[in-house]
Amino acid sequence: MPAHDLLSEAQIAEFRRDGLLVVPGFYDAEADTLPIQRAIHQVIGQVMKRHGVADVRPPFSADRFDEGYQELIARDRAWGGDVYDAVKQIPDFLRLLSDPRHKELFKALRPGSMPGIAAGGFGIRIDNPNEDRFRAEWHQEYPAQLRSLDGLVFWSPLVRMTPELGPVQFCLGSHVEGAVPVFTRSNGDKTGAYALRLKNEPSLLARYTHAAPLTSPGDLVVVDFLTLHASGLNRSDRSRWSLQFRYFNFNDPTGLAHGWKGSFAAGLDFRQIHPELCAD
Ligand SMILES: O=C(O)CCC(=O)C(=O)O
Ligand SMILES: [Fe+2]
């Protein structure tokens, strides 16, 4: 599908201005998200089976695809880790990750680019109620992912967002800052990319209008690798499930210079590539 069928000129201009674009109904529920929700329901069943928990759940429904998950993590939080690691191996998830629409969208937003999928840069987040350890604090994607400076995060919810679920927050237009230096020293119990903290965070955040779009399954949120964003606080009684696909540009000068290296998920500390962005 050509790029001009996916986005209007106004949407492209909005993305350039804000470093953020919400595309309502980008995905097809039946073809794209329902198979993933169905497979998550089955994976939860497999994790129950693995731990000898009787599966007495009602049959699958899209609204309650994660039935049983809260009970699992209440019994043993590590079983939630089993689910988290397993769901990114769902064929329908990987099919959607590599769907040509992402490549076309990337080319529409980054003219002259050659899109690539960031290895280790995709997954399904499960933000559990009142759990802080895996919350993403204010960050830019680039230090956490590397690959290329002009990458894009494609983020899409699997549950309808409410203020209580803690939708992702964005600083509109903050991508104009370029790559912001970060402190890398330990940040409580957070590790890897989660431990990074922005230099001059309060004044940086105060400069921009914040937005926390209340999206629904099927909606797509496109985020510039340099836009400041943070997880909200989930104060509901349900986990916030969302898809993340990250694409980069093989034709970006910074990526060309370092060979499209990946960051923490690739076992590399970004400080080796960008010592100048380390504020410690
Ligand atoms: O979903 C979240 O809470 C954070 C998302 C995020 O930081 C990302 O997708 O890059
Ligand atoms: Fe992020």
If you count them, how many residues does the chain have? 280
- DSSP, res 190: B
C-alpha distances in Å from residue 220, one per residue of 78, 216, 262, 278 = 30, 9, 24, 32
Q: What is the mean pLDDT of residues 191-215?
A: 94
Residue 2 has pLDDT above 60, yes or no: no
What band does 4 get if pLDDT is binned at 50, 70 and 90? low
Q: Which ligand is nearest to the CA of 241?
A: 1
Over the chain, what is the mean pLDDT? 95
CA distance between the termini of the chain: 46
CA 5–ligand 1 middle distance (angstroms): 27
At how many degrees (to 10) do helices 9-18 and 100-109 cross?
70
Judged by average pLDDT, the poorest of 106-115, 169-178, 217-226, 261-270 is: 261-270
CA 55–ligand 1 middle distance (angstroms): 31
CA 167–ligand 1 middle distance (angstroms): 9
Distance in angstroms (rounded) separating the CA atoms of residues 33 and 21: 20
Judged by average pLDDT, the poorest of 74-83, 184-193, 227-236 is: 184-193
Share of residues in the chain with pLDDT > 70 (%)? 98
pLDDT of residue 95: 98
Residue 179 has pLDDT above 50, yes or no: yes
What is the amino acid identity at position 118? Answer: A
Phi and psi at 183, nearest 5°, equal -85, 140
Distance in angstroms (rounded) separating the CA atoms of residues 102 and 228: 21
Q: Which ligand is nearest to the CA of 221?
A: 1
Q: Which ligand is nearest to the CA of 118?
A: 1
Taking CB atoms and a 6 Å cutoff, what residues make up the pocket around ligand 1?
125, 127, 136, 141, 153, 155, 168, 229, 231, 242, 244
What band does 63 get if pLDDT is binned at 50, 70 and 90? very high
Residue 1 has pLDDT above 60, yes or no: no
pLDDT digits 0-9 by tens, 16-57: 999 999 999 999 999 999 999 999 999 999 999 999 999 999
Q: What is the mean pLDDT of residues 210-234?
A: 98
Answer yes or no: are the C-beta atoms of 124 and 244 closer than 8 Å.
yes
CA 118–ligand 1 middle distance (angstroms): 15
pLDDT of residue 235: 97
- DSSP, res 200: T
- Which ligand 1 atom is the nearest neighbour of the CA of 166? 3
Distance in angstroms (rounded) separating the CA atoms of residues 103 and 122: 15
Share of residues in the chain with pLDDT > 90 (%)? 90
What band does 132 get if pLDDT is binned at 50, 70 and 90? confident
